Amino acid sequence: MGVKRVIVFDTTLRDGEQTPGVNFDINDKFKIAKQLVSLGVDVIEAGFPAASNGDFEAVKNIADKLKGVTIAAMARSVKEDIDRACSALKNAEKSRLHVFIATSDIHLKYKLKMSREEMLEKAVEMVKYAKGKFDEIEFSAEDASRTDWDFLVKVFSEVIDAGANVINVPDTVGYAMPREFGELIKYIRNNVPNIDGVMISAHCHNDLGMAVANSLSAIENGATQVEVTVNGIGERAGNAAMEEVVMALNTRKDYFGLVHGINTKEIYNTSKLVSELTGIKLQPNKAIVGANAFRHQAGIHQHGVINNRATYEIMKPEDIGIVPDTFALGKLSGRNAFELKVRQLGFNNLSPGELSDAFRRFKDLADRKKVVIDEDIRFVVEETLEEFRSFKEGEAWA
Ligand code: KIV
Ligand code: ZN
């Protein structure tokens, strides 16, 4: 048997868009989706077509144009949502419906106002309804981690009989602990009688800061798909961060013994693009992609790194696509050099106006500062983007 491959399902464009204050338009979604293809994700969850006409068009645009990747669309367990997802994915090379319904007693009682039996009947009916309309059907049991385990097993077994190819286990409210979540995955794997040939997926939220740990624990216990977002954006405290899960699998290949399809050298660019289009700056100490992730401050550390990087570095910045400083900029540098540096820093989508403005700010700074480092350039560009964004928002309100 060969080395097992983890399927990376990216939901930046769906759960990531549920980040408070984030709203992607059709162009933003396409730019990110294109970059996700370069990154090498297996599945792009492009959106929720029934949510709005705008999202329908954005999902359709991605499904029409991007090939070589599975495109997923979300739907509640209602026919209208499934039909909308179906039309949006009509031209996808490989389509996946992501249909969900809540299974925990607390959601059944207070949100759906349904009994367990009514919910199960609805889930099975909707999976049967969707069968044949998509290449794959993923069924999510929302709030799975707070659902009675034996009932969850029953739900999964019945939706598999109805035609689901992927069963997703969401820790919707980020409540689970890593060992417990791993045990739940193992329980499902060992007790769902028709699980063979069906993919088990983990979808973890970060309310207690466990999303990545829970995802990795799920993988260790038999999940073959992991659902992630770039920079960990998402509802409330966000989702499992793609870059953290992937680099854990990479850096600790000795421990996990798994492979994936991600080209890690595209991680930094992808992170920058998402940060740029969401307007969400990363905390400096953010693992993998934060500004300080590869910086050494203490003298003892710097000394060690000079002698041998492996003393304090478990990953190389180049592994995630950070280009080492090739040239320094100063007040005599021209626009071309500035533009090249800006692109090297991962800002690939500046408009000509934004670029001119950033260049002017850089020149002002270079007049005042002897050495302009990458961090200064990053700051200047982010400041420009922020100003342009608030100007646009101001216009929208006017
Ligand atoms: O967190 C969640 O439960 C989800 C879906 C998979 C329904 O985002
Ligand atoms: Zn979620």
In sequence order, the 6+-apart residues with CB closer than 8 A to the CB of 191 are 150, 153
Return d(Cα 176, Cα 210) in angstroms, integer: 8
What is the whole-number distance in angstroms between the Cα of residue 350 and the centre of ligand 2?
A: 30
The per-residue b/e assignment along 213-231, b for 16 or more CB within 10 angstroms, e otherwise, is: bbbbbbbebbbbbbbbbbb
Query: Which top CATH class is 4-278?
Result: alpha beta
- Please tell me the predicted confidence (pLDDT) of residue 397: 53
199-204 and 70-76 beta bridge pairing: unpaired
Ligand 1 atom closest to the CA of 143, numbered from 1: 3
* Mean of pLDDT values over 94-105: 98
Which of 100, 228, 229 to mutate to test ligand 1, by most ligand atoms within 8 A of the CB atom?
100
| Closest atom, ligand 1, to C-alpha of 170 | 3
What does the pLDDT average to over 56-74? 98
pLDDT for 307 equals 83
Considering only CA atoms, which residue is closest to atom 7 of ligand 1?
A: 142
- The number of the ligand nearest the C-alpha atom of 171 reads 1
Distance between Cα 197 and ligand 2 center (Å)? 24
pLDDT the model gives residue 365? 93
Pocket-testing residue among 12, 14, 104, 142, ligand 1, by greatest number of atoms within 8 A of Cβ: 142
Please choose from 10, 168, 172 the residue to mutate so as to test ligand 1's pocket, defined by most ligand atoms within 8 A of CB. 172
Mean pLDDT, range 371-386, rounded to an integer: 87
CA distances to 242, 346, 397 from 273, in Å: 14, 7, 26
* Residue 237 predicted with pLDDT over 80: yes
Give the closest residue (by CA) to ligand 1 atom 1.
172
Q: What percent of the chain has pLDDT over 90?
A: 81
Q: Residues 252-293: pLDDT tens digits?
A: 999 999 999 999 999 999 999 999 999 999 999 999 999 889
pLDDT band of residue 306 (cuts 50, 70, 90) is confident
Q: Could you tell me the distance, in angstroms and rounded to a whole number, from the CA of residue 310 to the centre of ligand 1?
A: 39
CA of 295 to the centre of ligand 2 (A): 32
- Confidence class of residue 180 from pLDDT cuts 50, 70 and 90? very high
Mean pLDDT of the chain: 94
Specify the residue with its C-alpha closest to ligand 1, atom 5.
142
Per DSSP bridges, beta strands 225-228 and 136-142 are unpaired
Q: What is the pTM of this model?
A: 0.86
Mean pLDDT of 187-196: 98
C-alpha span between 227 and 204 (Å, rounded): 7
Q: What is the pLDDT of residue 292?
A: 87
Q: Who lines ligand 1 at CB under 6 A? A: 15, 100, 140, 142, 168, 170, 172, 203, 205
CA of 322 to the centre of ligand 2 (A): 29
Which tokens belong to 281?
Answer: 């700056």
Which bound ligand lies closest to the C-alpha atom of 201? 1
Which residue's alpha carbon is at the smallest distance from atom 2 of ligand 1?
A: 172
What's the pLDDT score for residue 395? 63
CA-nearest of 376, 356, 357 to 368 is 376
Q: 335-375 pLDDT, tens per residue?
A: 988 998 898 888 988 999 999 999 999 999 999 887 788 88
Residue range(s) of every CATH 3.20.20.70 domain in the chain? 4-278
